[in-house]
Structures are given as C-alpha cells and as structure tokens.
Amino acid sequence: MRRFVITILLVAASAAMYGQGTTGQITGSVTDASGAVLPGANVAAVNEGTGLRRETVTNDEGNYLLSLLPPGVYRLSIVKTGFRQAARTELALAVDQTVRVDFTLELGTVNETVEVSAIAVQVDQDTSALGQVIDGSKVLKMPLNVFGRVVNEILL
C-alpha cells in the first residue's frame, strides 16, 4: 500500500512539472518602410553568452518565430537582399517567455547595417498574466529559514 501511495504522488508531481518550460522564444514581423511585409528575410539569433546561433526565414506574411531558445541575452539580426541589414542587441530572454521584436527595413545596399542597441522594456502582449522570473542569484541571496518562509517568498 505504501508503494502505491508513493507511486501516485510521484505521478501527480511529474504531471504538475510537465507544464514548466525551460526555453523561450522570439517572434515578430519584418516590413519595409511603406509597411509592406517582407517574406524571405533571413532572421538569426545569437546567444551572446554561449554563442548558440538559431536561424529562420520570414513566412509569406513577413512573420518569424525562433523557438526553443535557452534563456540568455541575444543579438537578433535581419538580412534581406536590397535592404539595409538591421540588428537588435541585448535582448534578454527568460524561461517560458515570448519576446516580440518587429523590424522595419529601409532600402539600401547590402553593405549597410542599422543596429539598435538601446535597452527597451519588453512587454508580453500575448498574455495579461502577472509573473516574475526569479533567477538563481536571487534564490541564493535569500536567507535560509527552517520554518519554510523561503518557499513562501519564492512563490510570491
């Protein structure tokens, strides 16, 4: 009977943990200066900490999606023949987060690059849920307490 109860508890705990993601994604659209969509633009995201590189191409509606990206700081670049290259640096991606970055490319030669390096507040437009990402350094800095208050502080 005891093994049965332990087995049920383990199955229930694993089902609750299944919904937790360990990656994030970057999505957006690419248009020209007149607002027309740009299909076939090459999109690349490079993790500045690890050097991991993921690439994709915009679809017929000018949208792109880079999924299964480990958390970190990314550099995103867009290349399309006949347009200036555009880039966005210092994109912070957290666990289970979707960051939307839209680009407007200007006509130009292939050798020209426009790089945006300002840090802007990232807003999740897809959900209205309130949440907070707690990284490992915050957890390590929390004081230990034998009465379980640490768990309560993390959950809040």
Residue 137: predicted pLDDT: 72
Average pLDDT over residues 18-42: 89
According to CATH, what is the number of the domain 21-128? 2.60.40.1120
Residue 16: predicted pLDDT: 53
- 56 within 8 A of 28, measured Cβ to Cβ: no
On the question of pLDDT at 134 being above 90, the answer is: no
Q: What is the pLDDT of residues 137-152, one digit of tens each?
A: 776 666 665 555 555 5
Looking at the DSSP bridge assignments, the partners of residue 42 are: 57, 79
Residue 123: predicted pLDDT: 60
pTM for the structure as a whole: 0.62
Residue (of 51, 98, 108, 122) closest to 78 by Cα position? 108
On the question of pLDDT at 133 being above 90, the answer is: no
* CA 120 – CA 127 distance, rounded (Å): 19
Average pLDDT over residues 56-69: 96
Average pLDDT over residues 66-84: 94
Mean pLDDT value across the chain: 80
* CA 61 – CA 94 distance, rounded (Å): 27
Q: What is the pLDDT of residues 87-123, one digit of tens each?
A: 999 999 999 999 999 999 998 765 666 666 655 556 6
The radius of gyration computed from the CA coordinates of the chain, to the nearest angstrom, equals 21
Using alpha carbons, list the distances in angstroms from residue 80 to 27, 95, 100: 17, 30, 19
Neighbours of 116 (CB within 10 A): 14
Residue 38: predicted pLDDT: 95
